[in-house]
Amino acid sequence: MRFEQSLPEELQTMTTSGGGLCSGASWDDSDELIRVAGLLDQIAAEVSPLRRFTLARSLILDPFREGGADSPATGLQDLTVCGGDLDEPWDHPWDDAQDRATSRLPLLESAAWAAMRYQVEFTIDGRKERARLEPHFKGPDSTDPLDTDVQSKDLVDVWRALAKLVTAPGARAALSHLVFQSAGGREHAQVAAAAYIELSMAERRAADMVLSARVAVRLARAVGDTALGARAIEALERIAECCVLASAVHG
């Protein structure tokens, strides 16, 4: 499948206002999109969710914190996430600093920062299993980032543009999956599924390989693409064979 590099026309003159985004932000060419897409590729190359989160914080959020990226040691880069597990909510002094920095993010960086903070969850709807990207924090009255069901159209449009520019399978899978989940579109599910299949072959841990291939199966079936679904099943079978061989070798 070919990934076009052109940008949606609406992004050429997009402006933002309110909601913590820098009012009046706009771009006239793709330079900033290309720059942020490169950051997302770099982040996606990290091998663990915690390392991806830490790098995303450093590359995307830190430049907008109080005093800038080079401010003294009381800044965000010197604080760590309690427990080291993004699946768990945390109470940490960094939260306030994060909120202040997030409020300064332009739309482009806000979309990139949000995209790196969803995680796959499998749910059962009737007899069907679904793979959904959920916010990394879900409280009784709010989520962080926003659930895709209530994300702004402007932010989803940026995800769509970035998905066409990123090259790392992890970044392409996440962004295309987010667009499909937020706005629909069979082609976005297909791009995401193909990227998840590619990612399943690149992951280092067996559990991550299985998860990526499993998501690909669900996305392909969600849009009725039997050929793509068959490729995802084949990926799962290859992973199983590799695990059996590895187990035999290591006793």
- Using CA atoms, how far apart are residues 29 and 153, in angstroms rounded to an integer? 20
Cβ neighbors of 133 (< 8 A, separation 6 or more) are 118, 119, 120, 121, 148, 174, 177, 178, 181
In this predicted model, what pLDDT tens digit does every residue of 197-206 receive, in sequence order? 999 998 888 8
- Amino acid identity of residue 157, one-letter, is D
Task: Give the pLDDT confidence score for residue 73 in this predicted structure.
Answer: 36
pLDDT in tens, 8-37: 343 333 333 333 333 334 444 489 999 999
Mean pLDDT calculated for residue range 132-161: 94
Average pLDDT estimate for 60-70:
73
Q: Residues near 26 by Cβ (< 8 Å), separated by ≥ 6?
A: 13, 14, 15
CB 147 within 8 A of CB 22: no
Which pLDDT value is given to residue 246?
A: 74
| pLDDT at residue 66 in the model | 62
Q: How many CA atoms lie within 13 A of 251 on its CB side?
A: 0
Which residue did the predictor score with more confidence, 6 or 234? Answer: 234
Q: How far apart are CA 121 and CA 132, in angstroms?
A: 5
pTM of the model: 0.77
The closest of 27, 30, 23, 24 to 13, measured between CA atoms, is: 27
**Which of 57-61, 91-95, 116-120 is predicted least confidently?**
91-95
Residue with tokens 């309110």: 18
pLDDT over threshold 50, residue 141? yes
pLDDT over threshold 60, residue 192: yes
- What integer pLDDT is reported at residue 88 of this predicted model? 44
- What is d(CA 76, CA 201) in angstroms, rounded to the nearest whole number? 34
